Structure 1
Amino acid sequence: MYQLGNVYVIAAIAIIGGGLFGFDISSMSAINVTQAYLCYFNQGPNYTYGECSGPKSDVQGGITAAMPGGSWLGAIVSGVLTDWVGRKKSIMIGAVIWCIGCVFVAASQNIGMLIFGRIVNGFCVGICSAQVPVYISELAPPTKRGRLVGAQQWAITWGIMIMFYISYGSSFVDGTAAFRIPWALQAIPAILLYIGMMFLPESPRWLARKDRWEEAMSVLTLVHGKGDPNHPFVQKEFEDIKAMCEFERRNADVTYLELLKPNMINRTHIGVFTQIWSQLTGMNVMMYYIGYVFTMAGLTGNTLLVSSSIQYVINVVMTIPALLYVDRWGRRPTLLVGALLMMTWLYTNAGLLATYGKPAPPGGVDHIKEASWEITGSASKAVIACTYLFVASFAPTWGPVSWIYPPELYPLRVRGKAVALATSANWAFNFALAYFVPPAFVNIKWKTYILFGVFCTAMFVHVFFMFPETAGKPLEEVEAMFTDPHGPKYIGTLAWKTRVHYGDAAKMEHGDIEKSISDRGSPERVEKV
């Protein structure tokens, strides 16, 4: 079958898997405040249209958390699945599972059926969110790896925005079609993903791991050599992969326990906490439950939905700078700046709500019990502005880098399982927060913002002292940095002294191997890596 070799086209198709997560986020955030949804799944005392209170707070948290709960399981399973059938087929299997989940969700007759369908959808998202970054990172050249892997986050933002407007338009339809239509339409991108993946090559590193060397070379030639197998970068990549596979062949079959061994535990903790911190930024408060936040700020009806959609547009636009420059900026500075800005807006919102807000009437604002605090006047506009600024700070920083960074940390033999473990941590905390936030708004109210502000402060300190720079380095060289006695050891040394190697990588990709070696200095060092 004809295969596409342009890395941008490959990434554009593969990242649709990330877009599925975005579709789910906004379909829930746009729908869970509509009267059609609140009345159909109502558990409160009022059944008159326009006064339904919807599911109980903890039940709504469970409905929302069902998807990340399924994603956690899918991410764990994907580590075994990807080593067995390959990166490409794993993503295709995920697309099929998503379509099955959409059938259950769109046809939901009760809360139990809705939760089951969201768990199935989540299983797909877990597979795709873990393995799409692995697949792209193993195909992308070093100078474009951050841009291409980070495009998964851009796809998520597009999915959020597109599905929000579909859900908003459907909200004007009478009856249950208001939420069944958008939930059914979620299947379309999964169908496109499955068809598109048929025309993409498999990861050359996975092929090499399976001793399919001719196929691995043909993929490298297609993607990096423009048909020339003798291109210097193709030859170097092939030799690096071959050397790594020969080294790894002396090791036993990989299990998740290997990630906890002394020579791997540091990298495991960095990858896992990259994903954990990305959730503890509080971004999901803004995505899943933005309707509650803006309701507390005095917005209702169509004004509420349109104002909520602005943050989704900001999310799409502000992700673009990261895609263009993250390989030059590096991972560390991007994460540090993001944490600093986000903690600023979270603490500001907490201060505004505490100073100028007051408890809402019994039953919450506009019959939404989770909107248990209200703020009016110019202070409410400041809360909305800080919310937008928070999204604008997350979008070019933790959003894309949390997907870019983990696949760069691990050697080939454990990469599939390691990224699956890191991604499973993302979904475990996503599940916890999705379940926790509605009751938190009811019980601790504005103090919810203080909690996430403290998390952002902690992640700033953690990144500064523990997260090394990986930008601009071939994946095999990143491995050498952790294991080569001639290279920098990140365990016990100063992570903040690591730097981006963008210029060296660019020279290698253009075939100027000798110039890159002379610029680095020691030929022995280059030979080692």
Structure 2
Amino acid sequence: MFLLIGILCQVVSGFDGSMMNGIQSLESWQDFFNHPSGGRLGTMVNGNTIGTLITIPFVPFLCDYFGRRMSVIFGCAVILVGAALQGAAQNFSMFMGARILLGVGGCIASAAAGPYVTECAYPSQRPQATAMMLASWPLGAFVAALVTWGPYNSSLQSSTWSWRIPSILQGFFPLIQFILALFAPESPRWLISKGKIEQARDFFTKYHADGDSEHLLVKVQMAEITATLEEEKAQNMSNIVKWIKSPSLRHRLFICFFVPAMLQLEGNALISYYLHIVLNNVGITDSSTQLKFNIGLTVWGLVAGVLVASVVDKFNRRTVFFTGLSSMCFCYVIWTILSLTLAQQRDFTDKGLSSGVVTMIFLYNGCNIICAAIGTPYVMEVCPYFMRAVGSTIYQLSGNIAGVFNNYVNPIAMEKITWKYYIVWCCYLVVLIVIVYFFLPETRGRDLEDVGEVFGSDVLGGRAAVKKAVGVDTETHYKEKNGFTKEHVEDQV
């Protein structure tokens, strides 16, 4: 239950994208803001991103100094203020200011949420728990689609409350996170880093060992984490210059920048924020129909997100990336061909082609979730503890810089060259597949303190500390007992 504090962190982002999609189809919103388009529309959509970019330089300090839990509490409080102001907006400036506040709070809460879930989850359940963070994105999108569609089909259709209600409800899930965080424990790794050893031991005893302080898993985790953090301190790994000088850490830094940018630059922003324009381009212009498509797309995304997150640890990380990217590329190619055929008709007489485009959008969205589900777990795994808050912040920075590009370029490109813009994404997806093949190593099956081995260096003292703590060579012990080598006691438990 307490892990929901972090798992729900993407709800705000998903809600925001779906809500902005939905309210663009509302005449009351269009009339109130004088039918924004092009750069002005891009600025309104980018308000959230602008707030994120403003906040990013301060987030690592907040997460490391005040802790993961307190950072989530503060971030959610800011989101609540932003949601209230957005719902009460009287003009463009007030609406933009509220969206910037939403970005500020969302950045702080999301940056702290990744490390919190990663560091608190039960070891064998960590990949699924962190993958569920991405599943919360379509949850937020689904709720936003419903609360946008509902007022449209009621007496509020012509009232500004048709978009004010969804704006205010953007604070609903952050309110749940805020309340849960008030009673939740802090990350045990953060506690150990601050010298609060007994509090960390109490965490592992209560939440990972069912109250047994002498449990082997408690000894293993305390020994491995303590030794690894001490070694990271000795190597001064909190210094960003260290990342630049070390080849293996440069590799990790590249991954922190590349993966979130990749997940934003897969063509997915077209349906996340500009479904209204995409559907207009294939002849589906009715507002009610567009809102229904938005609801259907978010339901499908929610189901796919939960299913993928539930089984994500059954497959290698690279396999998941390859599957998602290649299937997205296939969907985009078919989508482009169908859009070309529709463009040649010019009058959209063949409704079957329009339905084909919609089908490809749905299939593409499911394929995108396959790839996106492993993004946060993968980045959190490759970051050593003292750079995990920085890595999470870089994740936000890189993703939002890519988001700025999406939100300014996409509406202009869609209006100017329509279906031809899809060709760009077909080609770019091929480039991403090549980069993943050559630069992303496999990390599945390793705990957080041992991932450095796949990069050929870094902090490797955790395993030795485990052997000393439990008084036995764990690999030899499990080989003699079970007939096979088991690298991590955590996995066996």
Question: TM-score, normalization: structure 2?
Answer: 0.90
The answer on whether the counterparts of 2:304 and 2:366 sit within 8 Å (CA) in structure 1 is: yes
The answer on whether the counterparts of 2:18 and 2:294 sit within 8 Å (CA) in structure 1 is: no
Deviations 1:275-308 (A, max 9, x none): 0100011112111111221222222131221122
Q: Is 1:337 paired with 2:323?
A: yes
Q: Is 1:261 paired with 2:251?
A: no
Compute the displacement of 1:479 (Å): 2.4
Q: Secondary structure at the match of 1:17?
A: helix
Partner in structure 1 of residue 137 of structure 2? 156
Q: How many residues get paired?
A: 471
Partner in structure 1 of residue 12 of structure 2? 20
The answer on whether the counterparts of 2:148 and 2:166 sit within 8 Å (CA) in structure 1 is: yes
CA distance in 2, matches of 1:485, 1:414: 12
Q: Is 1:108 paired with 2:65?
A: no
Q: Give the partner amino acid of 2:318.
A: R
Partner in structure 1 of residue 69 of structure 2? 88
Q: Is 1:451 paired with 2:399?
A: no
The answer on whether the counterparts of 2:447 and 2:488 sit within 8 Å (CA) in structure 1 is: no
Q: Secondary structure at the match of 2:213?
A: coil
Partner in structure 2 of residue 243 of structure 1? 227
CA distance in 1, matches of 2:129, 2:315: 15
CA distance in 1, matches of 2:188, 2:230: 15
User: Is there any run of 5+ residues in structure 1 with no aligned partner, and where?
Assistant: 1-8, 43-53, 362-373, 488-507
Compute the displacement of 1:484 (Å): 4.1
CA distance in 1, matches of 2:350, 2:96: 35
Cα distance change on mapping 1:515 and 1:310 into 2, 3 Å: farther
Compute the displacement of 1:131 (Å): 2.0
Partner in structure 1 of residue 189 of structure 2? 205
Partner in structure 2 of residue 60 of structure 1? 41
The answer on whether the counterparts of 2:476 and 2:485 sit within 8 Å (CA) in structure 1 is: no
The answer on whether the counterparts of 2:39 and 2:412 sit within 8 Å (CA) in structure 1 is: yes
Compute the displacement of 1:483 (Å): 4.4
Compute the displacement of 1:191 (Å): 1.5
Q: Secondary structure at the match of 2:403?
A: helix
CA distance in 2, matches of 1:134, 1:73: 21
Partner in structure 1 of residue 115 of structure 2? 134
CA distance in 1, matches of 2:300, 2:358: 13
User: Is there any run of 5+ residues in structure 2 with no aligned partner, and where?
Assistant: 461-469
**Equivalent in 446, 465, 477 of residue 438 of structure 2:** 465
Q: Give the partner amino acid of 1:170.
A: P
Compute the displacement of 1:126 (Å): 1.5
Compute the displacement of 1:255 (Å): 4.1
CA distance in 2, matches of 1:267, 1:63: 34
Partner in structure 1 of residue 343 of structure 2? 357
Q: Give the partner amino acid of 1:230.
A: E
Q: Give the partner amino acid of 2:23.
A: I
Deviations 1:401-452 (A, max 9, x none): 1121111001111111122112210111112201211111111211221112
CA distance in 1, matches of 2:19, 2:238: 38
The answer on whether the counterparts of 1:18 and 1:155 sit within 8 Å (CA) in structure 2 is: yes
Question: TM-score, normalization: structure 1?
Answer: 0.84
**Equivalent in 288, 291, 295 of residue 305 of structure 1:** 291
CA distance in 1, matches of 2:242, 2:416: 42
The answer on whether the counterparts of 2:25 and 2:287 sit within 8 Å (CA) in structure 1 is: no
Compute the displacement of 1:119 (Å): 1.1
**Equivalent in 432, 437, 445 of residue 410 of structure 2:** 437
- The 5 A counterparts of 1:398-437 are 398-437=371-410
The answer on whether the counterparts of 1:67 and 1:431 sit within 8 Å (CA) in structure 2 is: no
CA distance in 2, matches of 1:116, 1:358: 43
CA distance in 1, matches of 2:149, 2:100: 24
The answer on whether the counterparts of 1:352 and 1:383 sit within 8 Å (CA) in structure 2 is: yes
Partner in structure 2 of residue 271 of structure 1? 256
The answer on whether the counterparts of 1:11 and 1:149 sit within 8 Å (CA) in structure 2 is: no
Q: Secondary structure at the match of 1:444?
A: helix
Cα distance change on mapping 1:62 and 1:256 into 2, 3 Å: farther
The answer on whether the counterparts of 2:475 and 2:485 sit within 8 Å (CA) in structure 1 is: no
Compute the displacement of 1:222 (Å): 1.6
Q: Secondary structure at the match of 2:90?
A: coil
CA distance in 1, matches of 2:7, 2:290: 30
Deviations 1:449-492 (A, max 9, x none): 111222211111111121112122110011243344999xxxxx
CA distance in 1, matches of 2:228, 2:209: 21
CA distance in 1, matches of 2:110, 2:483: 35
Compute the displacement of 1:375 (Å): 7.5
Compute the displacement of 1:124 (Å): 1.5
